[in-house]
Copies of this chain bind each other. A is one copy, B any other.
Amino acid sequence: MNEEQLKEMLDEFRLGKLDLQTVINRIKNLPYEDIGYAKVDNHRELRNGFPEVIFCQGKTNEQIKGIAEKMTENGSNILATKAGNNVFEFLKQSILHCEYYPEAKIIFVKNHDVVAGKNKILVVTGGTSDIPVAEEAAVTAEKFGNTVERLFDVGVAGIHRLFNNRQKLYEASVIIVVAGMEGALPSVIGGLVDKPVIAVPTSVGYGTNFGGLTALFTMLNSCSSGIGVVNIDNGFGAGYLAATILKQIEKN
């Protein structure tokens, strides 16, 4: 029930077309649907630059297409994550304005322009193998309306590479740090700045890297403060979190 229908019902009640108990019963049934209202409000905000998102892993091509078609009806941009090339080949047959970012494994359906804010998100990686996860974060942040700078392969084993690029650390509003193996890079960066750092552990490594768990725990135990951690290989989550921060900044 939307606001229009609510007005209508109250008018009918005032006019005696509906009795008191009926109105009370209907109102008692509102609560949960009204949460839907609130959600729609959110969506209104989100559409100011935030695309709809489809998590492709574990969905069939047909399912993805179905969801995408429904989303595209109301003119939203769409971000489809963890999407292999074959998903893209399938989707572009029926969905217009499809773009594919193979390293990020992201399909972007551009139904309207994205205007990037002036504040910057910096995406840093420890090694070259961390780049796919970093690209997922970067492309996500960009498609959510942000300016993104990349700084790749500056891990702690050769820490001068990071220091040579320290200016970039100082210019960003939020820093996403993507690292596998021992995952020590967020600690070092967190010690150099006093701005939000989002740490993304990756499954890069072998033996006791435990598929990314070691990097994850390193990041959670950082002796530097101000670090928020997301799930292993969750580039999208980091990009999204950074975007929500930037949105708060720019709203101001």
| 9 contacting pairs across A/B (C-beta < 8 A) | A10-B13, A10-B24, A32-B165, A156-B191, A182-B184, A194-B247, A203-B207, A216-B220, A218-B218
Q: Are B226 and A229 in contact (CB under 8 A)?
A: no
Q: Which of A39-75 contact B (CB under 8 A)?
A: 39, 42, 45-46, 50, 53, 57-59, 63
A145 CB within 8 Å of chain B: no
Q: Which of B10, B182, B190, B216 contacts A23 (CB 8 A)?
A: B10
User: A42-B193, A195-B244, A213-B208 known; A35 and B160 CB under 8 Å?
Assistant: yes
Q: Which B residues lie within 8 Å of A225 (CB)? A: 53, 157, 236-237, 240-241
The distance in angstroms between the C-alpha atoms of A172 and B63, with both chains bound, is 29
Task: Report how far A46 CA is from B215 CA in the complex, Å.
Answer: 28
Which residues in window 175-222 of A have CB below 8 A to B? 181-184, 187-188, 190-196, 198, 203-222
- Asked if A233 is an interface residue, CB under 8 A from chain B, the answer is yes
Q: Cβ of A39 and Cβ of B182 under 8 Å apart?
A: no
Q: Which of B128, B164, B174 contacts A63 (CB 8 A)?
A: B128
Tell me whether A34 is interfacial, beta carbon within 8 Å: yes
Residues of B contacting A252 with CB < 8 Å?
119, 249-250, 252
Known: A7-B24, A157-B187, A158-B39. A32 touches B163 (CB 8 A): yes
**Within the oligomer, what is the number of copies of this chain?**
8
On whether A249 and B249 interact (CB within 8 A), knowing A217-B210, A230-B220, the answer reads: yes
> A30-B31, A226-B240, A227-B237 provided; 13 other pairs, C-beta below 8 A?
A3-B24, A10-B24, A13-B13, A32-B165, A35-B163, A38-B192, A155-B223, A157-B187, A159-B159, A159-B191, A159-B192, A181-B222, A208-B216
Check A166 for interface membership: any CB of B closer than 8 A. yes
Interface contact A129-B59, CB-CB below 8 Å: yes
Interface residue? A245 (CB, 8 A): yes
Does the CB pair A209–B221 fall under 8 Å? Answer: yes
Residues of chain B with a CB closer than 8 A to A28's CB:
3, 6, 34, 37
Are B196 and A245 in touch, CB under 8 angstroms?
Answer: yes
A50 → B minimal CB distance (Å): 7
